[in-house]
Amino acid sequence: MAAPLRIQSDWAQALRKDEGEAWLSCHPPGKPTLYGNLTCQGIGQDGIPEVTASEGFIVNEINKKSIHISCPKENASSKFLAPCTTFPRIHAKSVTCLDISSGGGLGVSSSSDGSMKIWQASNGELRRVLEGHVFDVNCCRFFPSGLVVLSGGMDAQLKIWSAEDASCVVTFKGHKGGEREVGTESKMLLLAREDKKLQCLGLQSRQPVFLFIGSDAFNCCTFLSGFLLLAGTQDGNIYQLDVRNPRTPVQVMHRSGAPVLSLLSFRDGFIASQGDGSCFIVQQDLDYVIELTGADCDPVYKVATWEKQIYTCCRDGLVRRYQLSDL
C-alpha cells in the first residue's frame, strides 16, 4: 500500500474559519515522516473553504465534508471524509461493537460499561435496552431479518434477542472462546483466533479446509468473494488469501503497527479500522484511499454499512455516521 496520509481529526471544523489551520502528515515506510499544514484562505459563497497546503502537499479537491490531499513525492493520495452525524449519548463509555439492521432503520451496539442497546439509526434515539449478560458484551449483530439480535459476552454466553420487545429468546452457555471473529461464505466458516491461526472449516463437513499461521493474533476476518478473504492481526498486518492456495498470501498490507480491529467487505474493496484511530476504504477503481476522520487516535472498534452510509464505533464513546454522497 502507498504511504498513509494523516490529518487533524477535526479538520472540517478547523478549516471553516479564516486563517484556520489543520496539520497533516505522510508516513512512508522506512523513511522520516513528512509534516505539513492546511490553511483556510477564506470561505466561498457556496460555504466551501478555500484551502492551501504547505510545501510537499497538494489540495486536489474540497467540499464541506471532504478534502482530497496528495503527497507527490511519495505518490500518496487520500480523500478525507468527516462524519455527517455523531451520536454521543447512546453509551456512557467506549462503544465496542455495532451493527445496522438490513433495512437500515435500527442500530445495535455494546459498550465497555456492560450495556447493549438498540437505537434509531437516523438519530441515535434509544429504542431498547438488552439486559442479561453478566459481564461485558464482546459482540452484537443483527440477523438478516433485522428483527433478531445475536450477542456474545465475557460470561461465555451467546444470546439471541427479539429486537421488537428486548426479550432474550435463547441462551447458549459454556462457550470457551478463543475466536475473536467468525466469517462465513457459501459453505465455509472462517475463524480468526488469538493463537495466530486463521482457520477455515467446511460448514457441512466440519472438516478443516486450511489453517494459516500469521504474524500475530488474528482480530478480524471477512470474505471478499467465494474464494478471496481478508484477515487482520494485532501487529497491523492485513492478509489477503485465496482459499484455493492459502499457503502463500495474495498480498500482505501494512499501514501501521496498530492492531487491525475490523474488516468489512465493501463494494469492490473493503473497509478497515485500526487501534490508532484510522479507518479507511480501499477500492479497486480508485487511485486514492478514503479516510474516515473524527477519531483522535482512539481505536475504532467496528464498522457497519447500510447503502451509502457508514457507521463506526470508537473508544471515545461516540458512534459516527458518514455519508458517502458527501464525497
On the question of pLDDT at 175 being above 80, the answer is no
Q: Most distant CA pair in the chain: distance in Å?
A: 64
Q: 54, 60, 27, 56: which is closest to 38 by C-alpha?
A: 54
On the question of pLDDT at 176 being above 60, the answer is no
The pLDDT, as a whole number, for residue 170 is 85
> Between 180 and 3, whose confidence is greater?
3
75: left (phi over 0), alpha (psi -120 to 50) or beta: left
pLDDT digits (tens, 9 = 90+) for 113-150: 889 999 999 999 999 999 988 878 888 989 888 999 98
Predicted TM-score (pTM) of this structure: 0.93
Q: Where are the domains of the chain?
A: 5-81
Q: CA–CA separation, 23 vs 39, rounded Å?
A: 9
The pLDDT, as a whole number, for residue 139 is 85
The pLDDT, as a whole number, for residue 211 is 93
For residue 181, what pLDDT band results from cuts at 50, 70 and 90?
low
What mean pLDDT comes out for the span 280-309? 96
pLDDT digits (tens, 9 = 90+) for 50-100: 999 999 999 999 999 999 999 999 999 999 999 999 999 999 999 999 999
Residue 216 sits at the vertex; the CA angle it makes with 213 and 222, to the nearest 5 degrees, is 70
pLDDT digits (tens, 9 = 90+) for 208-239: 889 999 999 999 999 999 899 999 999 999 99
On the question of pLDDT at 169 being above 60, the answer is yes
